[in-house]
Structures are given as structure tokens and as C-alpha cells.
Chain A
């Protein structure tokens, strides 16, 4: 894989001439802008950037980014992206999926792209609803969600995307939300990570599941419910008046008060993005008793799938001549005049 050449672009360069068709006020707009703002900062090359998506409102995303784009079929985007990456490891691939696309019909593929660790950024737009099909409950909908398909309220237990990703073997787990000004930072960290980088992005479906994230993602006044994680920094939130500590007796996290800024005394832990055990606790941390963990929850790279595939191909080919004529004549051979040929 060649080191990518940094290209100078502006946000405008990443806009297409296609009319954006999301509902007015949909969180997808904000995510699109965040991405279009991030790409120039990364020095990304539109010709080398590929957005691959499944099906859903969120999966319309590629049509609006001036790069290569492939709007595939419901749930299968990770498989298309894996094939594309194996065919050309130099491509910079962004996957766009939804909570239904990625965790319902496509849960299997999402699991495997993560465990294989194919190098790409995977953005899961979690609006806790099936937007495109007009508002049915999704695998991430909270219990009791009333929808056309669950008029009395859903009763299945919701999946937790970040916990799923980590459980599947993800080496990068990040979180953000549509209108957050920190979203580009999470995207940048994901892009810097070599391997499958999973980002759960809470997204407001203003039509079918309005404001369900307001308790931590409201444009104003919810900041105290956000725990923005930074590597090497103490896990503080609510204007540093509170922190997250590890209860060593129960081996679980707890919220502690920080008095006079002395977080050390309060036992607040320092975020280490490579600590997988703490990452498991962070993705499981229930919102309500705890703040919402946001930012880079986990980042500990491992060799990528495509690198292993390339290495294997190179090793298997080493010293071997790719001579088709010889290959065809291998095995149990003979010539018609009756002389035995040694199997070549």
C-alpha cells in the first residue's frame, strides 16, 4: 500500500450536484457536513475515496459526496467494501450504514468485517428506527418504542452498537452525534486508525423518532451528560465536577464527585484508548445513571486483513512462475504415443 498523497480540497469540492433528499431537519445533514468538513482536513483525495453504503435513509449518503460511491443492497455494504479493499488496498473506504442496515439484516457482515479488521471507516448512523421504510422499530429501538409495527410498544431488548462492535473484535470504537462539533475529531481519529474503525453516530430522525437523544445530544443544555473521552486525560464530565472511577471490589465503573478539581483524590481513572477491559465497560455503561461516553472509546490497532492477504499472496507466489501452459499440463499426464510423463 502506498502512502496516501495529501490533496488540498475545500468542503465545496466534496459536494455533488445531486439534490439532497433527506427530510428537512434530519440529523443526516449535519453528519454529511461534518464529513465534508473533515475530508479536506485529512488531505483526502476525492479520486481515491470511496463511500460504500447499504440501504436506508443514511445509506443515501454516497450520492452526496463528490468521490467514488457505491449504494449497494440492504445490509451487505461490508462485504462489497471487503471485496473492493482486497482488490485495491490503496482505496480509502468509508462505509455508511444504519441501525437496521448494519445490525439487523447486515449484522453478520458487520461482525465479520470487524473481526477481520479490514481497513476502513464504518459509520453507523443510529437513529433507533427504520427511517426509510417509514418508522418501524429497529434493533436499537428502546423497549416500549411505539411504531407502526409495534403499536403497543416494542418488547425486544435493544442491541448496543458499540458493544456489538467491540464484542465482534473491533480495534477502534468511537462515538459521536450528528450535531456535535467534536464529530470531525472522532472521524479523524477513525481515519488515522489502520484497520476497521467503528463509529456509532447518534442521529436524530426528526420524523419517526424525534429527539430521542436529547438527554445528552440536545443542541443546548445537555453537555453535562456527555463524557468526552481523551487519551491520557481523566474521565471527567459535567464541567469537571464529576468523573468516572473504577470500583475495584465490584470491577465496575461508578460516577464520583470531584471536589476542588482533585480528580485523583476522587479516584477518577485516566483514559487509556488501548485498555480493552475498560473499553468493554465504557460501551456497556448505561446512559442515565452514567453520562454518554463519546469520542474515542478504544483504539488499539492490529494488522489488517488486506495486509495479511497481500502478504500471503506474495509468499505463496514467491519463486513460482505463473506459467499457465505448465499449469494446464500438471497432474496425471501422458502423450498419445504412450510414453508416461512424469507428473509435472
Chain B
């Protein structure tokens, strides 16, 4: 039996080992403290050191939260290691708390025995009051189960930048760089790339660049001197061997946007994107609005209905129509999606799922729109549905959505969620030339002949894929009318006759069911055996790691992750029947489980979590363990579960009125 990873949650330990396999660090501070920037730069240095990593930002729901308050806390978590990293991490090993509110909000997540680095300079009476602390937690012994490293970062920063003649307020803006310097030292990272970055960022203000560099260096130097006493020590994490090439970090929202651009190019079509702001989908509209040179037209509509209708109108006119929203907006789009199915026009609908029903939990993640995607329309309205499993996977999935939409003349729904949209991970930058193009073709001539050999145009005559021809208005001689009323099998003229409706329903269903979907592969483990853990969407990370951990313990468990939710891969049923048990973890009450049971009569067991937070690896390991009770060395549930993990924010918010997550740029002043 393999031993548990040394830093597995729930295995209390004293401080970090010298060479841990992976470490989770959370930077937390006031939204003005520049934590997203700190996290971003730390991420870059981690990537340069060759570690695998995953990150998750957690910024306040409020747009301009008052300084020092609980709901103004902004955090950035990074999980990095010498082993493949699949999630932003269960519980942090290290919490950097730049003020009392940051400590209060994030403490519950910290691993027992974890390290707290706190800036005593920010633990003033006023800030303690704002964080609703009766006594200073750094002094009252309440942090007994953690290692605490508390010192006056504010003062040390002011001291370090003194030569640059900044006022106190400006000087304190470099606090985050001081902290970053310390973190760089802790994990044995070079400072040069950050120096370079600061120099280029503040090209026009060299004194600010110098002050920040001085703060960074001072933080780094502090680590070296402080190591001699106290809990601070340097740890080393080996690089993960990975393919050579150019890498970048990418969030799901970026990857979807880039994938859509790539998809439109592969289809050789201009893209029309119709959107209406909603968390967490707005980021896609924002990204695409800046990519006009890629023949992208973005349209901020008056509501989600107009957004999807405009996208369908654009597809009708010969563009690739795309729209995006989250649950409540997708609900509004539903009737129009039905028209897209009826008129058989290409359309990509991106649903960045969030907690529901209704306004629900706008800034939290959930997978509860699966029924809505697969079944949620009036009439028999089949529509392909595919799901992204991680931020970088969203790129390929977006291309796949475009391909299906164009080749099969159909709306396609792409499911992502709040976690995927905001989380970042390293991504080996793909070569666009490595993707097979799927150029759209437009009919320009009559496609049939009547009995006298005269050319006729049949707008609903299908090709071998079951797709009808795409005809751009403006094409001479092919004028025709389409609409939502049932239409004749070939001419597309209104036809209510019973036989025709039966046939058209069958044709629409057959077309979607006949979509070429690659066979399902097992992403970890054997193709048959005791237990298959079957996931879809953003549960990929925690499932993968949990199954990997279980397999290292010798358990016969496999991970199957389904991208094509509808239609499903042809071999999936047979594959699932090869396992004694099928466990389906989902961030909903068991929606995919229902689809699997319905399609394959398989005894799929749900494992559900609807807390607005992703699964923890430990939770999944525990659930897997239960299937192996009686296996020596593994009594089910051996792994302790820590309830807290990212994204997590204790402070109350998300009333829906001010729910839009501001970008890190607008939240943070940077340094």
C-alpha cells in the first residue's frame, strides 16, 4: 500500500516538511492590498520553477467594500507541487493575512498546524473592531493550533522604501511586494522575473518600480535572517517534468473566449457574440469585446432574450452566432433556443453555471443546470450539450461546440461553471494549425430537381449528417421562409400534418443522436473493475486526484470523465457496465446520475454537494474508501474531512444586487 502524501489534509503535522510534494498557499488581505497581483506574480514564479499548479481567486462580491471589513477581503489561493496538480487545493498550508478581517475570514480553512503570516501593523484597534474581534487574536492565544509568524510588515515596508521619498500611504502600497519577497524566499524562487516585471509595469514611473523592488528584496532578506529563529523555513519543491514548449496561465473564461475565436476561424466564419451581463459569464463578453480584429462582433443586448435572438439572427445571416449567460439568463433564452432547434441554425450557448435556483448564489459554483441543458425546453427539442472539465479544457471544448454547431446546423450548449470561469491553471499554448478546420459551406444553388428536371430549392433537404443547407439571405434565387412553426420535411413550408410532424420530430432527434462523438476513454485506471468514479465538468480536478490517491493505495478504482453530455459516447454504457459500482460525484442533487441511469440502466450512485464550493479531494477519497471496507489497511473513511476550502468566504454577501465580481484590476490598486 502506498503511503499517503505527506501533506494530505487531516494528517496533522508540525509545519511544512522540507520537501513537500505540494503546498497550498493563500494570500488574503483587504481588496486594496493587491492580493490578486501578489498571487499572479507568485504563480508566474511558481510556473517558472517548473511546478505544476492551480489557482483560484476569491474576491469580494461587493464592488467597493469598505476598507478593513470582512466582506472586503480579497484572497488568492495557489496549490503547487512536484506532482500533477488538479485543484486549487483543499486546505491551505500557509495563510498570509494582511489584516484582521483577512485572518478571520480565512482562518477556518487553514489546515491544523498550518502557518499564519500576519502583518501586526494592520492589527490596529480600528481594524480589529472592523473585523469584529473583541481581542487581538495574535495575542490572546486563540491561534494555538497553528504556527504564527506575526511581525510588522507595514513598518518594514515603509523602512525599505524610505529612500524613494514616498508618503506613508504610497509606501504601504508596496506591502504586497514585501510579502511576495518573503514568499519567494520561502519557496526558493528567483526574484529576477519579478524585478523585470516591475520595471516594465512601471516603465514611466521608475521611482515606483524601484520602491517596489526594494520592498520585494527586503521581504526576501527578512526570510533569510528570520529563518534562524522561529517557524519560518525554506522549503523546496521539485519541478514536475512536462513537455517542452510555451506555457501560460489561463482562466476558464479566457479559454472559452479564445476557443470560440479559434472555432470561428476553423469554421471560416465571422463570429457574432450577443451577451447580457451576469456573473460569472460576463468575463466572456469582456474578453471578446477586445478581439474585434478577429472578425468578432460583440453586442451587449437589452436582455438575455435579445442576446440569443440577435445571435440566431446573425447565424441566419451567415455568421457564427454565440451567446453566453448563467442559469437565470439561460432560462430566459430557452424559447429562442427552441427556435434555433426548429429552424436548424448553428448557435453556441455558453452556460457558466452558478448556484441556483433563481438568483441563488451568483458568485458560487454549481453544476445544477444539467437538466436545464439536456431537457429544459418545450417540445421534443434535442440539443447537443458538452462540458468543460478545467480552465484549459474549455478551449478545446469551445472549438468542439463550434464544430458541432456548424456541421450539424444546431444550437449547442457548452457547460462551464463559476469555478472553471475564474480558476487559472498552466496551459501549454496550442498551435492553432494543429486543429482540423471545419469550414462552413453555404448553399448558393438549387439543391434538387423536380419531375421535369427543373432545378428546385429544398431548404430542409438534409445531408448525410442530417443537416439542412445553410443559405445566407442575399443569395440570388434561393429566397425562402423559415420560422418556428412545424415545417414540411423538404420544402420547409408550414405543415401541420400528423405524419410530417412525426417525421420531423424523428429527424431532429436522429440528427442530434447521430452526432459523431469520440468514444469514452478512461482517464485514470482500468476499463473495468470494482469502482468507476464518473464525473463531468469541473469536478475533474478533485476526482482525478482522489482516484489517483486511492490507486496509489492499491484500490481498484477508475476515473471516467464525460465531456459529451448529449449525445453521450456510444461505448459509455458498455464501459460503465464493466464496473461493479458507479459513483457519480456532482455539485447538484444528482442530475447526471439520472441521465446515466436513464440512458444505460446502470446503477449509478450519486455523491452530491450543493454548498457552492467544489468537492474536496479528501471528501472524494472518503467516498471512494467506503467501497473498499474490508480491504486491509483501508477501512472506509480513513481520510479525515476538512469542511473548508476554496472558494470560501465567510462574510455574508451575494444578495444578487451587487453580485458581480469585480475584476482584480478594479479591486486592487496594485503596487
Q: Which residues of A contact B (CB under 8 A)?
A: 16, 18, 46-48, 50, 52, 55, 62-63, 66-73, 76, 78-88, 90-91, 108-109, 111-112, 309, 312-313, 316-317, 320-322, 324-325, 327-338, 340-342
Contact = CB atoms under 8 A, between A and B. Distances in A.
A336 B242 contact: yes
Given A332-B47, A342-B200, 7 more contacts: A72-B309, A80-B312, A82-B306, A324-B432, A332-B248, A340-B192, A341-B246
Interface stretch (B146-154, B202-210, B356-364, B481-489): B481-489
A81 B316 CA distance: 10
B483 A340 contact: no
CB-CB nearest 7 A-B residue pairs: A71-B483, A83-B313, A83-B310, A79-B309, A80-B313, A69-B481, A317-B293
B473 A83 contact: no
A338 B299 contact: no
A332 B310 CA distance: 34
A341 B250 CA distance: 15
Contacts of A46: 479
A134 B49 CA distance: 72
A333 B309 CA distance: 38
Interface stretch (B155-163, B317-325, B508-516, B657-665): B317-325
Given A70-B482, A73-B339, A87-B270, A327 B291 contact: yes
A334 B40 CA distance: 13
Contacts of B305: 76, 79, 109
B329 to A, nearest CB: 14
Given A336-B244, A338-B49, A340-B193, A83 B272 contact: yes
Interface in B453-484: 472-484
15 contacts: A47-B474, A48-B474, A52-B313, A71-B484, A73-B339, A76-B309, A79-B307, A80-B309, A80-B313, A85-B317, A109-B306, A325-B433, A327-B291, A328-B429, A334-B44
B297 A313 contact: yes
Contact of B474 (A18, A88, A321, A329): A88
A312 B297 CA distance: 10
B224 interface: no
A196 to B, nearest CB: 14
Interface string B37-65: 00010011001111000000000000000
A313 B298 CA distance: 10
A91 B317 contact: yes
Contacts of B319: 87
B491 to A, nearest CB: 10
A309 B273 CA distance: 13
Interface string B367-383: 00000000000000000
A72 B301 contact: no
Nearest to B296: A313
Nearest to B297: A86
B248 A333 contact: yes
Interface of B: 40, 43-44, 47-50, 192-193, 196, 200, 242-250, 254, 258, 261-262, 265, 270, 272, 274, 291-295, 297, 299, 301-303, 305-307, 309-319, 321, 335-336, 339, 343, 429-433, 472-485, 493-494
A309 B319 CA distance: 15
A76 B336 contact: yes
B484 to A, nearest CB: 6
Contacts of A312: 292
Contact of B430 (A48, A108, A328, A337): A328
Contacts of B433: 325
B48 A334 contact: yes
A5 B294 CA distance: 30
A84 B317 contact: yes
B197 to A, nearest CB: 8
Given A80-B313, A324-B262, A47 B243 contact: no
Contacts of B301: 79, 82, 112
Contacts of A88: 317-318, 472-474
Contact of B314 (A18, A72, A84, A341): A84
Majority-rule SS of A interface residues:
mixed
Given A46-B479, A86-B299, A87-B272, A71 B313 contact: no
Contacts of B258: 327-328
Contacts of B494: 18, 63
A193 to B, nearest CB: 21
B479 A68 contact: yes
Residue among A48, A70, A87, A324 with most chain B CB within 10 A = A87
Given A316-B293, A331-B249, A335-B246, A91 B481 contact: no
Contacts of A341: 246
Contacts of B294: 322, 324, 327
A87 B302 CA distance: 18
Residue among B293, B318, B494 with most chain A CB within 10 A = B293
B196 A72 contact: no
B247 to A, nearest CB: 5
Contacts of B196: 340, 342
B479 A337 contact: no
B484 A48 contact: no
B481 A70 contact: yes
Contact of B310 (A68, A86, A334): A86
B292 A317 contact: yes
Contact of A336 (B247, B249, B297): B247
B336 A336 contact: no
Contacts of B44: 332, 334, 340
A340 B45 CA distance: 9
Given A90-B474, A316-B293, A340-B193, A334 B482 contact: no
B478 to A, nearest CB: 8
A67 B262 contact: no
A83 B292 contact: no
Nearest to B192: A340
Contacts of B472: 88
B333 to A, nearest CB: 11
Contact of B484 (A72, A83, A112): A72
Nearest to B49: A338
B297 A71 contact: no
A87 B248 contact: no
A324 B258 CA distance: 9
A73 B44 CA distance: 49
B200 A68 contact: no
A84 B317 CA distance: 5
Nearest to A81: B313
Contacts of B48: 334, 338, 340
B316 A18 contact: no
B473 A72 contact: no
B133 to A, nearest CB: 36
Contacts of A335: 244-247
Residue among A16, A83, A327 with most chain B CB within 10 A = A83
A302 to B, nearest CB: 19
Contacts of A333: 246-248, 429
A69 B482 contact: yes
A202 B475 CA distance: 33
Residue among B254, B305, B481 with most chain A CB within 10 A = B481
